[in-house]
Amino acid sequence: MMRLGAASALLLVLAGSLAAQTQYFPSRAFCRSGEAGPCSWYAPHLRAMGEPSLWELSKSKSVETYRFLWLRTFNHPVSARLDLKSDGTAELVVKVLSGQGGYKPGHLTQNRTLKVPKDSVDYFLELLNKAQFWTAPTEEEPDGVGCDGAQWIMEGVKEGQYHVADRWSPKEGPYRKAALFLAINLGGLNPRYNDVY
């Protein structure tokens, strides 16, 4: 009985260690910010959500998925992941943490999976196409200077390809529309007007 308990404890430690080693983004994906910046900030939120690494999922050519990670400085971190199916429909996994996007992640408070019809998937993909997501730079110079805002991180996996785009508080455009379409229109989140930044 003691051996089984020790073995179980060892497996839990190893599982935790493997989760901590999960690589969520390609090396040097965020060149402008340096290696330690976004990777060390974004990954703990994804770990706290129990989210998979889309970078690792890109090793399979049969997977198509998109994830919007919304890290607002003073609001709960949000993830909305759209997993496409072969028939053109999708499942949307929406997760919310108790912490704040600019600080500690906290713990999972919402975890919902919703079915998404093909016409909604098509509309989202059209918005991504208008945003030129697959050819957009990972990072852009911020539009103005600000202290508190939000990181809008969109990842995509399609046909073995992976891309990530990281924007600071976009005020308009198809990138913003695509992200909010996932989180609010499809995901059912209902933030106050002042909390959409």
Would you state the pLDDT for residue 10? 34
User: Starting at the edge strand that comes first in sequence, how are the strands of the sheet with 150-158 ordered?
Assistant: 108-116, 90-97, 78-84, 64-72, 150-158, 161-168
- pLDDT above 90 covers a percentage of the chain that reads 71
Alpha helices in the chain (DSSP H): 2-21, 37-49, 54-57, 118-130, 174-180
pLDDT-based confidence at 37, cuts 50/70/90?
low
Whether 27 is in a domain gets the answer: no
98, two tokens: 């108790």
Whether 128 is in a domain gets the answer: yes
Q: Report which of 156, 164, 169, 175 is spatially closest to residue 32, judged by C-alpha positions.
A: 164
Q: Which residues of 78-93 are buried (b: 16+ CB within 10 A; e: fewer)?
A: bbbbbbbeeeeebebb
Single pTM value for the model: 0.84
Give the CATH number of the domain where residue 160 resides. 3.30.1560
pLDDT-based confidence at 3, cuts 50/70/90?
very low
Mean of pLDDT values over 2-30: 54
Whether 17 is in a domain gets the answer: no
Q: Position of tokens 């408070």?
A: 109
Total domains, the chain: 1
pLDDT-based confidence at 147, cuts 50/70/90?
low
- State the residue range of the domain holding 162: 51-195
Q: Per mean pLDDT, which range of 55-64, 163-172, 186-195 is the poorest? A: 186-195
Give the three-class secondary structure for 140. Answer: coil
Would you state the pLDDT for residue 39? 65
Whether 36 is in a domain gets the answer: no
The angle at the Cα of 86, spanning 166 to 93, to the nearest 5 degrees, equals 45
pLDDT-based confidence at 40, cuts 50/70/90?
confident
- For residue 4, CA distances in Å to 9, 14, 16 come to 9, 15, 18
Whether 42 is in a domain gets the answer: no
